[in-house]
Structure 1
Amino acid sequence: MTRMSTLDAATAADSVAPPPRWAIWAAHLTTLVVLPSGLWRIALVLGYPAGYLDESFADFETPGAKVWMLTLSVVSELLAFLTIGLVRPWGEVVPGWIPLIGGRAVRPMVAVVPAAVGAVALTVMWANIPWWWTYPHNDMTDTGDLVVGILYQPLVLWGPLLAAVTVSYYRRHRSPRSRSIES
């Protein structure tokens, strides 16, 4: 990737059609569908049993478990936040404050391929969540089982939302040659 001047990178970003309103909403919604499960894990980190029976909750009291749950919550939210880059200028030109690569134009496939792989992985990973209540959760109270199931249900949308925003990004950034062939 060659280093572009800030003016060249801005011109490249301006030559792309703006994202459709639905894609902007879908990108922002992605961060919200991850939030409920992350807040539930943070409640566990803070010492609230959050639906677990006392003897089962003891497993979450270890420092390692707390670090894992907090890390998982923060990383999940940050990954969801990256979806917004597919509808914002920083998904087209790397912000100048980032060392070594700041100011460079983002090659579309550098964004599309990881986003598409992530969308497929997330869709597969969360596909069974709608059936949460059909699996036994002997380590949880009945209320806890209900609430945790509800908090995790939005994750089913994460993969499809990311896929839709990724397709929108790809369509806006494909080469002029491929656009003229399709027309």
Structure 2
Amino acid sequence: MGFRISNLFTGALPRPPWARAACWACLGCALPSACWRVAMMAGADVGFRDAYRYRDSTGGTVYVLALEVIQVGAAVACVGLCRPWGEVVPRWVPGLGGRPIPRRLPLVLGGAGDALLYLVVYSVAFRFARAALSDPPGWTPAQGMSPGQTWVLALAYAPMLLWPAALTVALVGYRRGRA
């Protein structure tokens, strides 16, 4: 946890343990659902009866792969809020390598991403909960799944509910460390 010489150049202070834990929690919240979708695309019987629509079409495959790249990329960026590579542009980036990242940029982008996460995650969760509890039940991805497959789906997607709050905490830690 010690202070590094590189901190003198970036103005960064070591992040408190709670902020580092929140950054890593962001990644941990995003990976299970990404793994579930990768398994679905690889042909595993995850119980999702519309899986063929994504596996058997170019557009569906591109959609899922783009979703994976965006979701996992955003989660890795959350880890950058507590790592040195999140404070200085990597040296391999032409023209910008080695320059400090402006202090407000991660806060602005992270704040916008966090607001979007709250909106998307909770609106989807609300829609699926409402569909599952309506009479007759509306469509949810769990339709036609065995109880075991439904549990796996729930365990894969439940951590997503924590991602927005974890990112909020990570952004607070980042702000305090880059003051």
Per the normalisation by structure 2, the TM-score is 0.80
Give the 3 Å change call, closer, same or farther, for CA 170–52 of structure 1 in structure 2: same
| 1:93 is the counterpart of 2:88 | yes
Q: Which amino acid aligns with 2:101?
A: V
- Structure 2 unaligned spans of 5+: 132-137
Determine which of 157, 161, 173 is the counterpart of 1:168. 173
Give the Cα separation in 2 of the matches to 1:133 and 1:127: 10
| 1:20 is the counterpart of 2:25 | no
Give the Cα separation in 1 of the matches to 2:18 and 2:122: 23
Larger radius of gyration: 1
Per the normalisation by structure 1, the TM-score is 0.79
Q: 1:35, 1:77 within 8 Å by CA — same for their partners in 2?
A: yes
Instruction: Report the CA distance between 1:117 and its aligned residue.
Output: 0.9
Instruction: Report the CA distance between 1:111 and its aligned residue.
Output: 1.2
Q: Which amino acid aligns with 1:170?
A: R
Q: 1:9, 1:93 within 8 Å by CA — same for their partners in 2?
A: no
Aligned match of 2:134: none
| 1:74 is the counterpart of 2:69 | yes
| 1:59 is the counterpart of 2:53 | yes
Aligned match of 1:158: 163
Give the Cα separation in 1 of the matches to 2:14 and 2:86: 12
Instruction: Report the CA distance between 1:139 and its aligned residue.
Output: 4.4
Aligned residues: 164
- Structure 1 unaligned spans of 5+: 1-7, 175-183
| 1:140 is the counterpart of 2:144 | yes
Moved over 3 A (4+): 130-134
